[in-house]
Amino acid sequence: MAFLTLKGVCKGYGAGDQRTEVLANIDLEVARGELVAIVGYSGAGKTTLISMIAGLLRPDSGSLTLNDLEITAPGPDRGVVFQNYSLLPWLTVYENIHLAVDQVFLNWTPAKKQQHTEKYIAMVNLAPARDNRPGELSGGMRQRVSVARALAMDPQVLLLDEPLGALDALTRATLQDEISRIWLQDKKTVIMITNDVDEGIYLADRIIPLSAGPRATLGASVTVDLPRPRDRKAMNHLPRFKEIRREVIEFLLNRGAPQHHAVSRKLCLPDIEPEDLTHPRSRAARRGPIRRGEIKRETIEVDS
Amino acid sequence: MSASSPSSSSSSSSPSTSAIWRVRLQTWLLPFAGVVLVLILWSISSRTWSRNLPSPGKTWEVSKPYLIAPLAKRGELDQGIGRFAWYSLWLVAKGYAIALLVGTPLGFMLGRSKLFARSFDPIIQVLRPVSPLAWLPLGLVLFEKSQPAALFTIAICAMWPTVLNTALGVRAIPQDYLNVARVLQLSRSKTFFKILLPATLPYMFTGFRLSLGIAWLVIVAVEMLTGSPGIGGFLWQEYNSLIYEHIILCILTIGLVGFLLDRAMSAVEQRLRAA
């Protein structure tokens, strides 16, 4: 029996004419202790999907269950690492994480809560910055605080919404290693949203592509059976890596690609024919611009 | 400092003397020159087109007893300028407190509840531009005595910046912070004190500062109309007694006190920002 199940989940926004179906028929099963990466286009509905798993949004139809219990509201059993970190800027690193600990472990003594908070600050290597405010931290450090806060809640599922999206490539690599290391310690169930296929393959046990919107669906999941610990440099040469990558990208670019529609319109061209400057001016041309009215049919491709 | 630029060759030590003189110019000399210019214009005006306007010299002569003994009390309406300022400030403090106590929760409700906002926004927009001089008679009708009427007027005029800025601050809270509150399942009071209040504080303070400015403005008008002891009352009384020098003294005092109040608020704001 899967740990987290999504069945036939659909979500749309707007009403009547303006309605867009963002997600259609999402089916997902995640086993306990798995790290699943969902890869997709920007604006495809990845954040919508993760918000629904977190309980921040309700689906229009379909069901989401965690441990056979329906997900109806947000809670600390599903820790979320938001795309924009969402650290409270008037609290220090310690206080941000302590807020979560305080809220979840109500029966603990203050000393135990402090110890727990310090443990997670140390786990993300931020002990020197313990009393800094988020405004005094770099993007990578803020993200680590966000991860520490989510982990300190001891959630059943960890949801990462494009956690490394706002960082430069070099910091991303460092933080990918950190996430990998932290995950290996606890082996929590993690669902990670990313737009980087390589990142997904590097970190995940399974990688699932999400097609482009509207009406985005999940493609077939690809098991990443590369041995752990994974070496970024060596990985590039492994044939299995290339195979996985090709499969995922093939789905994203072909079957899951944004749909193009051909739109045909009648155009009325302007009334004056532009002068052709490459030809020597003939006597006729010296008379002045020639007026031509012309009706033309143009076909252009539009992203749906 | 690049060795190639000729302008920096004269300064061998840091900071350069030209920089020191520039700072002195901006901080002291230019403002001083501005004040001197205004005094000259004032002096010229009092000699030429406005004979009733007392000259700077005369103003100083007649105002001296009030300035030199600011806390003296010679009679009910003949006290040192410090005492008058104190009466006004005390009244402002009370009215301002009422404005904040009423305005801040109102602002919060406006920001949080769309229903509330839609119901009361038109009323607020209509009441906002009403001058204190129009509220005062209503206050007298409602409360009959001049002190409560004055407090009512100050409160209702000074309230609006607080209300609107607080509402703006609440609406401007990023959805992300509210999501954090939801994921952590924070209780309503915890959400308020730990997230809503700190996030709105900068906006609230802008409102507080503007409200203080308006409260100080209103007190003068109110005192003039009700004749209560204070700077405004003194001003109007001296106008009726034809001692015009004191009008100018009052104007300058009002301006100075208002400026100091604004500075004080600004300092408090900085303290809270850093904290």
Instruction: Name which residue leads in pLDDT, A197 or A282.
Output: A197
Question: DSSP H helical segments within A85-228, as ranges?
Answer: 93-104, 110-123, 139-152, 169-186, 197-203
- B242 in the Ramachandran plot: left (φ > 0), alpha (ψ -120 to 50) or beta? left
Identify the band that residue B28 occupies on the pLDDT scale cut at 50, 70 and 90: confident
Contact between chains at A86 and B177 (C-beta distance less than 8 A): yes
Q: Report domain extents, chain B.
A: 15-53, 81-274
Output the pLDDT for position A75: 87
Mean pLDDT across A246-260: 81
From the list B222, B232, B175, the residue with the least C-alpha distance to B199 is B175
The chain-wide mean pLDDT, for chain A, equals 84
CATH at A224? 3.40.50.300
Q: Could you tell me if A251 and A264 lie in one domain? A: no
Mean pLDDT across B204-228: 89
Q: Please list every residue in chain B whose beta carbon sits closer than 8 Å to the beta carbon of residue A82.
A: 176, 179-180
Q: Could you tell me if A189 and A272 lie in one domain? A: no
Domain B81-274, what fold?
MetI-like fold (1.10.3720)
Identify the band that residue B6 occupies on the pLDDT scale cut at 50, 70 and 90: very low
Contact between chains at B185 and A88 (C-beta distance less than 8 A): no
The chain-wide mean pLDDT, for chain B, equals 85
Contact between chains at A84 and B176 (C-beta distance less than 8 A): yes
Output the pLDDT for position A13: 86
Q: Could you tell me if A132 and A158 lie in one domain? A: yes
Residue B197 has pLDDT above 70, yes or no: yes
Kindly report the nearest CA distance between residue B178 and chain A, in angstroms: 9
Mean pLDDT across A189-216: 89
Q: Please list every residue in chain A whose beta carbon sits closer than 8 Å to the beta carbon of residue B179.
A: 56, 74, 80, 82, 86
Output the pLDDT for position A288: 58
Number of domains observed in the structure of chain A = 2
Output the pLDDT for position B4: 46
Cβ distance B43 to B55 under 8 Å? yes
Domain of A296, in residue numbers: 260-303
- Closest CB from A55, A74, A99 relative to B194: A99
Distance, in Å, from the CA atom of B213 to the CA atom of A242, rounded to the nearest integer, reads 68
Identify the band that residue B2 occupies on the pLDDT scale cut at 50, 70 and 90: very low
Contact between chains at B185 and A75 (C-beta distance less than 8 A): yes
Q: Could you tell me if A226 and A268 lie in one domain? A: no
Nearest chain B residue to A100 by CA: give it.
Answer: B184
Mean pLDDT across A209-213: 85
Q: Could you tell me if A117 and A204 lie in one domain? A: yes
Q: Could you tell me if A155 and A274 lie in one domain? A: no
Identify the band that residue B77 occupies on the pLDDT scale cut at 50, 70 and 90: low
From the list A139, A156, A165, the residue with the least C-alpha distance to A40 is A165
Contact between chains at A104 and B184 (C-beta distance less than 8 A): yes
Kindly report the nearest CA distance between residue A263 and chain B, in angstroms: 38
Output the pLDDT for position B169: 93
Of the residues B173, B177, B184, the best mutation for testing chain A's interface (the one with the most A CB atoms within 10 Å of its CB) is B184
Mean pLDDT across A200-212: 90
Q: Please list every residue in chain B whose beta carbon sits closer than 8 Å to the beta carbon of residue A76.
A: 183-185
A11-65 tens-digit pLDDT: 888 887 788 888 888 899 999 989 999 998 887 788 889 999 999 999 998 889 9
Contact between chains at A80 and B179 (C-beta distance less than 8 A): yes
Cβ distance B219 to B88 under 8 Å? yes
What is the β-pairing status of strands A260-268 and A295-303? antiparallel
Q: Could you tell me if A167 and A293 lie in one domain? A: no
Kindly report the nearest CA distance between residue A222 and chain B, in angstroms: 30
Q: Could you tell me if A299 and A231 lie in one domain? A: no
Tell which A residues from 14 to 33 touch B, by Cβ distance under 8 Å.
none
Q: Could you tell me if A107 and A130 lie in one domain? A: yes
A92-108 tens-digit pLDDT: 999 999 999 998 998 99
- Closest CB from A82, A88, A104 relative to B195: A88
Mean pLDDT across B48-64: 80
Output the pLDDT for position A118: 93
Q: Please list every residue in chain B whose beta carbon sits closer than 8 Å to the beta carbon of residue A56.
A: 179, 182-183
Identify the band that residue B94 occupies on the pLDDT scale cut at 50, 70 and 90: very high
Q: Could you tell me if A29 and A67 lie in one domain? A: yes
Residue B44: partners with Cβ closer than 8 Å, 6 or more residues away: none
User: B168-196 b/e with 16+ CB inside 10 Å = b?
Assistant: bbbeebeeebbbbbbbbebeeebbeebbb
Distance, in Å, from the CA atom of A232 to the CA atom of A25, rounded to the nearest integer, reads 34
Mean pLDDT across A174-203: 88
Residue B178 has pLDDT above 70, yes or no: yes
The contact set of B with A (CB < 8 A) is 174, 176-177, 179-180, 182-186, 190, 194-195, 198-199
Kindly report the nearest CA distance between residue B181 and chain A, in angstroms: 9
Output the pLDDT for position A281: 60
Identify the band that residue B161 occupies on the pLDDT scale cut at 50, 70 and 90: very high
Q: Please list every residue in chain B whose beta carbon sits closer than 8 Å to the beta carbon of residue A75.
A: 183, 185
3 state SS of A103: helix
Q: Please list every residue in chain A whose beta carbon sits closer than 8 Å to the beta carbon of residue B183.
A: 54, 56, 74-76, 78-80
H-helix or E-strand spanning residue A54: helix A46-54
Contact between chains at B194 and A88 (C-beta distance less than 8 A): yes
Residue A152 has pLDDT above 80, yes or no: yes
Cβ distance B221 to B229 under 8 Å? no
Kindly report the nearest CA distance between residue A182 and chain B, in angstroms: 22
Distance, in Å, from the CA atom of A192 to the CA atom of A81, rounded to the nearest integer, reads 9
Chain B contact for A79 (CB, 8 A cutoff) = yes
Residue B68 has pLDDT above 70, yes or no: yes
Kindly report the nearest CA distance between residue B182 and chain A, in angstroms: 6
Residue B200 has pLDDT above 50, yes or no: yes
Q: Please list every residue in chain A whose beta carbon sits closer than 8 Å to the beta carbon of residue B182.
A: 55-56, 73-74
Chain B contact for A86 (CB, 8 A cutoff) = yes
Mean pLDDT across B99-105: 94
Question: DSSP H helical segments within chain B, as ranges?
Answer: 17-24, 30-47, 56-68, 81-112, 114-127, 132-143, 146-171, 175-183, 188-190, 197-226, 231-240, 244-274
Contact between chains at B180 and A88 (C-beta distance less than 8 A): yes
- Closest CB from B179, B186, B190 relative to A86: B179
Q: Could you tell me if A293 and A208 lie in one domain? A: no
Paired tokens of B92: 């402002």
Q: Could you tell me if A172 and A282 lie in one domain? A: no
Output the pLDDT for position B171: 92
B128-150 tens-digit pLDDT: 888 888 898 898 899 888 888 88
From the list A196, A155, A156, A154, the residue with the least C-alpha distance to A175 is A196
Contact between chains at B180 and A82 (C-beta distance less than 8 A): yes
Q: Please list every residue in chain A whose beta carbon sits closer than 8 Å to the beta carbon of residue B199.
A: 88, 90
A98-145 tens-digit pLDDT: 999 998 998 999 999 999 999 999 988 899 989 999 999 998 899 899
A258-290 tens-digit pLDDT: 766 667 777 666 666 666 677 666 655 555 555
Nearest chain A residue to B274 by CA: give it.
Answer: A90
Contact between chains at A76 and B194 (C-beta distance less than 8 A): no
Distance, in Å, from the CA atom of A240 to the CA atom of A227, rounded to the nearest integer, reads 11
Contact between chains at A86 and B176 (C-beta distance less than 8 A): yes
Whole-angstrom CA distances from A10 to A20, A208, A240 are 11, 17, 33
Tell which A residues from 144 to 173 touch B, by Cβ distance under 8 Å.
153
Cis bond upstream, residue A214 (ω within 30): yes
**What percent of chain B has a predicted confidence (pLDDT) above 90?**
28
